Structure 1
Amino acid sequence: MSTPQSPAQPAARTGAVVATLAFAGTTAAIMQTLVTPLIAELPQILDTSASNSAWVITVTLLVAAVCVPIVGRLGDLVGKRLMLLACTFPLIAGSVVCALASSVVPMIVGRGLQGMGMGMIPLGIALLRDVVPAERLSGSIALVSASMGIGGGLGLPIASAVAQYANWRVLFWGSAVLAAIIMVLVWRFIPATPPGAKGQRFDFLGAIGLAIGLVCLLLGISKGADWGWGSATTVGLLVTAVAVLLAWGFYETRTTEPLVDLRTTARPRVLLTNVASIFIGIGMYAQMLVFPQLLQLPEATGYGLGQTMLAAGLWMAPAGIVMMVVSPIGGKLIDRRGPKTALVLGAVILAAGYGLTQFLMGSALGLMVSGLVISTGVAFAYGSMPALIMRAVPQSETAAANGFNTLMRSLGTTIGAAVIGVVLAQMTTSFGPVALPSEDGFRVALLIGGAVALLSAIVAATIPSTPAGRGNESVTLSVKPEDAVAESSH
């Protein structure tokens, strides 16, 4: 039937919904890592400078950060299925533009359009609350949420293989086909559900303010190392970001229908989950920066492992696969012990994986084993955060709240990239005429990842527990007045 799904809907239909949303999330994440194997070649491909070609990566980050919370709120207002379909159009268009690009400007435009489609990940997670039976909800959330990590883990070897053995344009034609497949699957399998915030207005002023603040913040963080952390441009951007975001927060707490309800995000469960999400993002990204470099640096350095780009990607691929395998286990843990326990455990496992790197980073097999442990921790953590959020927000704010949580994770990865980048840039060794990150630099970077993961576990441990009597069914219901009272009593 094509009617909106209810919790009693057949398992086959539910399976198709979850599979479609997980595939959509994985594809969106793959598109983020699509150009990674091309970084060194982009200046030659696009006939431009290295600094200009770096915008091919930066623009996707900026556009995604701005669009994710906006798309989430629109999903609450006009319907999540409609917005999922809307997200596929810029993914297709952006991929085609990139495939046809022969200079840097159209490539940047195309990558920006691809960034607009990233909102489908939190939309998909939020939609699960509306359409999946309670007994399958936790596992479904865990799988779809982990699809971001799965796509990131699988995207690099796939992109590396295509870049090495075919024309680079094939990467973008392939992504256009994947986006088109997602459009068909969403149209066919995702049911329409009533908008949770139907009748409310869209907060245009809040959207503009958040966009300006986020662009200034992320641009300052991501480009600070290139422009100089003390440069007028970097400092000006960061100061502007703080001023605009403070003004935005003041406005959002005083408008009746805000883009992001900061009163809800200030609840201890939501606030602490978002803080933990930032630290998880930092912790996850450290190994994504370090492992490829360690694998590909020459053996002559004494610590590099001399792997080709494709081989390095293949050594890292099992980490993405293990996330797919572990996610259902995380869902069962959430059902039995609650999402808070799963988040704390995930953060501890993540830290343990970084601890292993100090002993195993001397071989490709050792890095793969460490990556498997790290990915297990990420899978538990990624599956638990949306569950924590959705147990603490009203039905009318599900997509917006998940979009904001996704933004916090992205902010964490951006901060992580900046911090690790500074460490590796400062701790170098000479290899002929070239300065390379030193072995000590890599060890410090990995220790930072582990330390931040432990900090995330500490923050997660302070999240107030779900009130007695509210189990898995609480995820499928709006927050009741009495729940709000219980929340405020913590």
Structure 2
Amino acid sequence: MENAAGPRDRTRGMVAVLALAGIVAAAMQTLVIPFLGLFPQLLHTTPANASWLVTATVLTAAVVTPVSGRLGDLYGKRRMMLICSGPLFAGSVICALANSLPPMLVGRALQGVGTSLIPLGMSLLRDVLPPERLGSAVALISSSLGIGTALGLPIAATVAEHADRHVLFWGAAAMNAVVAALIWLKIPVTPGRPEGRFDHVGAIGLSAALVCLLLGVSKGADWGWGSGVTLGLLGAAAVLLFAWGRWELRTTDPLVDLRVAAGRTVLLTNGVSLAIGFAMYAQGLIVPQLLQLPRETGYGLGQSMLHMGLWMAPAGLMMMLFSPLGARLSAARGPKTTLVTGSLVIALAYGSSTVLLGSPWTLVIVTCVCNIGVALAYGAIPALIMGAVPRTETASANGFNTLMRSVGSSVSSAVVGVVLAQLSTDFGGRHIPSEGGFRTGMLIGCGVALLAAAVAATIPSARPRKAPATPVDQAATPSPAPAR
């Protein structure tokens, strides 16, 4: 019995390490949000410049994630996870030491590299876990993106209330050091495909296109949607993406195999991922503002920053609790069913907000139900992707899918920001979002979630393969290595 249990215990520990790595990396996205109002004074800069501390992380994550995924396929996922954990640690230390904007921007950009740990971890599991355990493990790692994002906010809010930002980033550095050590000790070496070549031209082209696209989307409200800079960036992104696509179709070792990505399952799943990323982020923008606005507005709930973070915390825990349920549903009914169900649950959460915006407790219900849906969807998405791509393309395909979620979040920030800015009201001499603006934003989230469910319903159902695994696949699936 001990011999039978040993490998299982080791793989459980490995899954726990990968989940922790994903949660810590994702938490870096929301770590600075409670401090955004304080950074202009702390860093001697303007509010517009301080907002780059969020944008820098998003841009780096978008650029690095598909590149690191491809490198993981070529040279090994564990190796790339260790490489990505280095900038994550260094960025936290730089932020802890910084007292001005430029080094903080450098540190925040380096922290964005950590997002790559999530798709790399999911892909590594395909190499080392037996099929019967793969679904639940991948669901947990995939959900870590939402868990970390949700938990980062209350943790940072607590620190902001009782300490200062230096404590926050030193704590982040310590956690990142622990994660790197655990990856080194507990994660087995996985084979790469060193005979393949890395597509440098494709990497540069996609990076340039993403920077233009995400800068235009995330900064359009500040610069003006009709300004020359915004339109120029969006136009450049369109041209670069077209040129990049032509290059990827012609090169022999593309960064992203667009022929595989254009397959119906992968294409539709990536489209749903973009919509789910939008829907998840919308409530994360609206609910904290509703909680913190003064009660005198008639719809604000007058909570402090700390209490706001605590009210938001249960939503992240829901993702952790319900990701195994999504895996069981996928095993019984298929990941397509789970994805449709998750999308409908998100739509239900947003729809219920029309009558549940009156108290902190009812808002907790909205955010918890929404994140239950996200947990179901996020667990099903990588299962659909990995079931439709070759083993040698797993990390690259998961990295590109994670990118789609990030693009959805960026578009959500822009759209909801415009809605709240346009539907505003005057309160004490300053413009704040009106109750109608919040309700409109929630209804948009509902509509996007319903669209995601409709698209997910058209994904082809997977057919079980009766053919035995090929020698290549057998060689690429080693037995779980003993812990180091």
**TM-score of the two chains, using structure 2 as the length reference:** 0.95
**Which residue is equivalent to 2:148?**
151
- Structure 1 residue runs without a partner (length 5+): 1-6, 481-490
- Give the counterpart letter for 1:443 in structure 2: R
After superposition, the C-alpha distances for 1:218-263 in whole angstroms (9 at most, x for unaligned) are 0000000000000000000000000001000000001000000000
SS of structure 1 residue aligned to 2:250: coil
**Which residue is equivalent to 1:178?**
175
1:477 is displaced (CA, Å) by: 10
**Which residue is equivalent to 2:130?**
133
- Where do 1:38-117 residues align within 5 Å? 38-117=35-114
- Give the counterpart letter for 1:370 in structure 2: V
After superposition, the C-alpha distances for 1:180-222 in whole angstroms (9 at most, x for unaligned) are 0001100111000111x33101000000000100000000000
SS of structure 1 residue aligned to 2:84: helix
Q: Structure 1 residues 203, 422: CA separation in 2 closer, same or farther (over 3 Å shift)?
A: same
After superposition, the C-alpha distances for 1:446-471 in whole angstroms (9 at most, x for unaligned) are 0000100000000000001112446x
**TM-score of the two chains, using structure 1 as the length reference:** 0.94
Q: Structure 1 residues 476, 412: CA separation in 2 closer, same or farther (over 3 Å shift)?
A: farther
**Which residue is equivalent to 1:353?**
349
- Where do 1:251-270 residues align within 5 Å? 251-270=247-266
SS of structure 2 residue aligned to 1:68: helix
- Where do 1:252-401 residues align within 5 Å? 252-401=248-397
Q: Could you tell me how far apart the structure 1 residues matched to 2:359 and 2:173 are?
A: 37
**Quick check: 1:297–1:305 contact (8 Å CA) kept in 2?**
yes
Q: Could you tell me how far apart the structure 2 residues matched to 1:395 and 1:9 are?
A: 27
Q: Could you tell me how far apart the structure 1 residues matched to 2:456 and 2:432 are?
A: 36
SS of structure 1 residue aligned to 2:355: helix
Q: Could you tell me how far apart the structure 2 residues matched to 1:45 and 1:71 are?
A: 34
SS of structure 2 residue aligned to 1:275: helix
1:163 is displaced (CA, Å) by: 1.2
Q: Could you tell me how far apart the structure 2 residues matched to 1:347 and 1:477 are?
A: 38
- State whether structure 2 residue 241 is matched by structure 1 residue 245: yes
Q: Could you tell me how far apart the structure 2 residues matched to 1:478 and 1:48 are?
A: 56
**Which residue is equivalent to 1:418?**
414
- Give the counterpart letter for 2:410 in structure 1: T
1:50 is displaced (CA, Å) by: 1.2
- State whether structure 2 residue 7 is matched by structure 1 residue 13: no
> RMSD in angstroms over aligned alpha carbons?
1.7
- State whether structure 2 residue 23 is matched by structure 1 residue 22: no
Choose the corresponding residue for 2:203, options 194, 204, 207. 207
After superposition, the C-alpha distances for 1:22-64 in whole angstroms (9 at most, x for unaligned) are 0000001111111010010011110011111111111110011
Q: Could you tell me how far apart the structure 2 residues matched to 1:170 and 1:474 are?
A: 54
**Quick check: 1:391–1:475 contact (8 Å CA) kept in 2?**
no
Choose the corresponding residue for 2:118, options 112, 116, 121. 121
Q: Could you tell me how far apart the structure 2 residues matched to 1:477 and 1:165 are?
A: 58
Q: Could you tell me how far apart the structure 1 residues matched to 2:232 and 2:199 are?
A: 27
**Quick check: 1:206–1:252 contact (8 Å CA) kept in 2?**
yes
1:172 is displaced (CA, Å) by: 0.6
After superposition, the C-alpha distances for 1:371-425 in whole angstroms (9 at most, x for unaligned) are 1110100000000000000000001100000000000000000000100000000
SS of structure 1 residue aligned to 2:173: helix
- Structure 2 residue runs without a partner (length 5+): 475-484
Q: Structure 1 residues 144, 477: CA separation in 2 closer, same or farther (over 3 Å shift)?
A: farther
SS of structure 1 residue aligned to 2:353: helix
- Give the counterpart letter for 1:273 in structure 2: T
How many equivalent residue pairs? 471
Q: Could you tell me how far apart the structure 2 residues matched to 1:164 and 1:298 are?
A: 18
1:475 is displaced (CA, Å) by: 11
- Give the counterpart letter for 1:347 in structure 2: S
Q: Could you tell me how far apart the structure 2 residues matched to 1:220 and 1:147 are?
A: 28
**Quick check: 2:275–2:408 contact (8 Å CA) kept in 1?**
yes
SS of structure 2 residue aligned to 1:10: helix
